[in-house]
Structure 1
Amino acid sequence: MKSWYLLYCKRGEQQRAKMHLENQSIECYYPEVEIEKMVRGKRKRVSEALFPSYIFIGLDTSIGPSFTTIRSTRGVMDFVRFGGQPHQVSESLITQLKECELGEQDCSQLPQPGQSIQIKSGQFSGFEAIYQEPDGEKRSILLITMINQQVTIKVDNTDVEWK
C-alpha cells in the first residue's frame, strides 16, 4: 500500500532530486505557486516552491525501492523523521495541497491598477485611494487626494481594504 513521505533536499536541487526519483518510478509531488514579483523594477509572474527544499513522495514500501536507495538519490539529503523513523504524511494533506494549487491560479491577491480602495488603518486611515502598483511584497503605491492635489504614498498592504 502506498504511503506518502516528506524528503528534505539539498538547497536548490529539488528539481534534480524529483527527476532522479521519477526515473526510479517513485511518484513525486513538488507543489509550486505562481506569484507576482518585482524583478529589476518590473512586475513578473514567477513560479516558486511552496515548501522550498522539500518534496513529497508516494512510496509502496513492499515493492518500491528501500529508504536507503531513496536517501542515496542525487539531490536528496534525507527523510523528515520523527523518532528515527521516516514520518508518513496523510493522504488527505496531499489531496488538499493539490486542490489548493489548482484553485489558486484563478484568484489574484492584489487589486488592479486604477481600482479605488479604502485605507483602513495607519496614518492615512479613512482616506480613499487609487491603487497604482505593488512596492515589493508587503507594500503598495497609492494615489490619494490631499489639498486638491494627487499625492503618491506607500502603504503596507495590511492597512488597505479592497474587494
Structure 2
Amino acid sequence: MKDWYLLYCKRSEQERAVINLERQGVGCYYPQVTVKKVSRGKRIESIEPLFPSYVFVQFDPETVSYTSVRSTRGVADFIRCGAMPQKVREELIYNLMMNEDSEKHQRLLSILPQPGDTLKLEQGKFQGLEAIYQEPDGEKRSFMLINLLGKPVKVSIENTDLLKK
C-alpha cells in the first residue's frame, strides 16, 4: 500500500530529487507559490516552493525501499518519528493539491499581509512600531516601511515579528 512521507532535500535540490525519485517510480509532490519580487529593478513573478527543501513522496515500501529513496541524489533524509519515517495523512496532501489555482501554482501566501497594509511589529528590535508592509523578502523576511525620526525608512523584518492590525 502506498503511503505519503515527507523528505528533507539538500538546499535548492528539490527539482533534482523529484526527477530522480520519479525515475524510481516514486510519486512526488511539492507545492509551489507564485511570488511577486523585484529583481534588477523590475517587478517579476517567480515560482518558489511553498516549503523550501521539502518534498512529499508516495510509494510502497515493499516495492521501493526506504534506503533507495533516502539515497537518491538531492535527498538529505526522511522526516522521522523515532527510527521510522513519519507518514503524512493523505488529507493534508489532497488539501494542498485542492488549493492550487488554475495555473497549477498555489497562492497560499494569504497569511502574509498585502502591500500597503498597516501592521504593528510585535517582536524584535522594532517592537511596538507601526509599519507599512511592502513585499516579501525571501523565505522568512519582509520589507516594511517604518517611520523613524519623521522619515519613512525601508527595513527587512522577520515575518514572525508581524502582527496584522
TM-score, normalisation: structure 1 = 0.67
Task: Verify the 8 A CA contact 1:135 1:154 in the aligned structure 2.
Answer: no
Give the Cα–Cα distance (whole angstroms) in 2 for the partners of residues 45 and 32 of structure 1: 12
Q: Cα distance 1:120–1:102, how it changes in 2: closer, same or farther (>3 A)?
A: closer
Equivalent residues in 2 for 1:136-155, closer than 5 Å: 137-139=142-144
Question: Which SS does the other structure have where 2:92 is aligned?
Answer: helix
Give the Cα–Cα distance (whole angstroms) in 2 for the partners of residues 135 and 90 of structure 1: 30
Task: Verify the 8 A CA contact 2:37 2:136 in the aligned structure 1.
Answer: no
Q: Cα distance 1:153–1:21, how it changes in 2: closer, same or farther (>3 A)?
A: same
Shift of 1:39: 1.2
Task: Verify the 8 A CA contact 2:3 2:60 in the aligned structure 1.
Answer: yes
Structure 1 counterpart of 2:67: 68
Instruction: Output the amino acid matched with 1:33.
Output: V
Give the Cα–Cα distance (whole angstroms) in 1 for the partners of residues 85 and 117 of structure 2: 49
Shift of 1:87: 0.2
Cα root mean square deviation, aligned: 3.6
User: How many pairs were matched up?
Assistant: 141
Equivalent residues in 2 for 1:45-64, closer than 5 Å: 45-62=45-62, 64=63
Structure 2 counterpart of 1:143: none
Task: Verify the 8 A CA contact 1:71 1:77 in the aligned structure 2.
Answer: yes
Give the Cα–Cα distance (whole angstroms) in 2 for the partners of residues 39 and 139 of structure 1: 17
Structure 2 counterpart of 1:92: 91
Task: Verify the 8 A CA contact 1:9 1:55 in the aligned structure 2.
Answer: yes
Unpaired segments ≥5 residues, structure 1: 112-116, 125-132, 141-151
1:81 and 2:80 aligned: yes
Equivalent residues in 2 for 1:1-163, closer than 5 Å: 1-62=1-62, 64-102=63-101, 104=106, 110=114, 137-139=142-144
Q: Cα distance 1:75–1:135, how it changes in 2: closer, same or farther (>3 A)?
A: closer
- State percent identity of aligned pairs: 43
Question: Which SS does the other structure have where 2:52 is aligned?
Answer: coil
Task: Verify the 8 A CA contact 2:3 2:59 in the aligned structure 1.
Answer: yes
Shift of 1:49: 0.7
Unpaired segments ≥5 residues, structure 2: 121-127, 146-150, 156-161
Shift of 1:65: 0.9
Question: Which SS does the other structure have where 1:19 is aligned?
Answer: helix
Q: Cα distance 1:134–1:52, how it changes in 2: closer, same or farther (>3 A)?
A: closer
Question: Which SS does the other structure have where 1:45 is aligned?
Answer: strand
Instruction: Output the amino acid matched with 1:139.
Output: M
TM-score, normalisation: structure 2 = 0.66
Instruction: Output the amino acid matched with 2:11.
Output: R
Give the Cα–Cα distance (whole angstroms) in 1 for the partners of residues 57 and 73 of structure 2: 15
